[in-house]
Amino acid sequence: MADGAREDARTVRLMAALRRQFPAVEDLERRARRRMPSFAFDFLQGGAGDESGLRRNRSALQAVEVVPRYGVDVTKVDPSVELFGHRYAVPIGISPIGFDGMMWPGATEYFARAAQAQNIPYMVGTLACATIEQVVSWAPDVTWFQLYPMASDDHRNSREMADRAQRAGARVLVVTLDVPIRPKRPRDLRNGLIMPFNMTPRIALAAALAPHWLRALSRKGMPTFANMAEFSGTADRQATANFVRTHIGGGFPWDEISRLRDRWTGPMLVKGILHPADAEKAMRLGLDGVVVSNHGGRQFDAAPATIDVLPEIVRTVGGRGTMLFDSGIVSGVDILRAVALGAHGCFAGRAFMLGLGALGDHGAAHVAQSFIEEYRIALGQCGLTSTAAARHAPVRHPGAWTAEDFAPAA
């Protein structure tokens, strides 16, 4: 047997073993907690304020019920979905995770390679730990780019970053609206996690207790905000971190979204939509869709659960754009819930990072394969043979917001 064939066979056996040992995200979470430094695990799992937004996302998703229909031939179930001219294996993609290389060294590359191999979209972020050019080289068919606001100098840097992503070959631009100012995240404050990321005695002690993370760090090097070197004038970690601290933020006003729409020639979305009126504004500006998201509960703890506002936003847009969902997805059943309520596709971040924390190099691919398998099973269990059919499944959603709920208080 040739060396390549042997390696492929070993990989197949490994992935099968991982499927048996870690069949659910909660299994990954338990192992990741042991292998990741405490500051990195808390940064990943934490939320804003009292973290009620985190809990609300999960409880609201779990409350959604989908009614199975039987007597249907489900020997052939097609879980794929077409988004912006590309057919993906399943309606789930990898969400952007800022400073991903701090949580697991090399994360950006692992995400990109897993997304390309499994044919799912990867929405890489502005603050990833590899450049957009590198990511497109690893995942040329599935790379989307999430743009963060750099409001100083009238968003000149924001526009330059978008132009750079387009030159690199990103397929879709996703402009993030829900980061107007930095939130207060108590876990990070308690852990002394500040920018720039430095090995303070406290951080070093936590790292010393995570030998798997340290080994990954020795192979991949200290994380840095790779895309920011162009703007800070140097690849020095301190300089790029200082640029992030002083220039990232300020939010995107709608007139800037309009400018970006004029510059970007491909599909363009806005991410962080929670109000139907904001989705309507995006449609009027000629955007191709929205990502309904509360930033995974990491920005504002009083925000509604994303799944609860999704149906009214879908109704408001009325088929004029692509509706994507983010925040709280941990299983294939969750994907089905969101699709049944009108989403064309979903994104998840924490689950994929927990895969890296628990399993290292193969973690992201394992999570992707789990989502594909679970979603296919969920479709078949409900008598649904395709993602298009799932958007018409009978569903009960007790927490859904109505149009009246969005009206201003008297």
- The answer to whether position 405 is within a domain reads no
Return the pLDDT at 246: 83
DSSP designation for 299: S
Residue 335's Cβ-count burial label (10 Å; 0-12, 13-18, 19+) is: buried
Among candidates 380, 356, 347, which has minimal Cα distance to 88?
A: 347
The reported pTM is 0.94
- The answer to whether position 16 is within a domain reads no
Percent of the chain with pLDDT over 90: 80
Residue 195 pLDDT level (bands cut at 50, 70, 90)? low
295 a catalytic residue: yes
- The answer to whether position 9 is within a domain reads no
State pLDDT tens for residues 156-192. Answer: 999 999 999 999 999 999 999 998 888 889 998 888 8
Residue 133 pLDDT level (bands cut at 50, 70, 90)? very high
- The answer to whether position 399 is within a domain reads no
- The answer to whether position 17 is within a domain reads no
Angle at 134 between CA 86 and CA 93, to 5 degrees: 40
Q: Are residues 143 and 112 in contact, defined by beta-carbon separation less than 8 angstroms?
A: yes
- The answer to whether position 232 is within a domain reads yes
How many of the other CB atoms lie within 10 Å of CB of 16? 11
Distance of CA 61 to the CA centre of its chain: 17
Q: Are residues 51 and 300 in contact, defined by beta-carbon separation less than 8 angstroms?
A: no
The domain total for the chain is 1
- The answer to whether position 12 is within a domain reads no
Angle at 380 between CA 14 and CA 346, to 5 degrees: 70
371: containing domain? 28-394
State pLDDT tens for residues 50-99. Answer: 999 999 999 999 999 999 999 999 999 999 999 999 999 999 999 999 88
User: Tokens representing 253?
Assistant: 């006003």
**Domain CATH for 160:** 3.20.20.70
- The answer to whether position 329 is within a domain reads yes
Residue 368 pLDDT level (bands cut at 50, 70, 90)? very high
Candidate list 212, 247, 295, 397, residue with the active-site label: 295
Which secondary structure element, helix H or strand E, spans residue 96, and what is its range?
none
Return the pLDDT at 271: 97
pLDDT at 136 over 80: yes
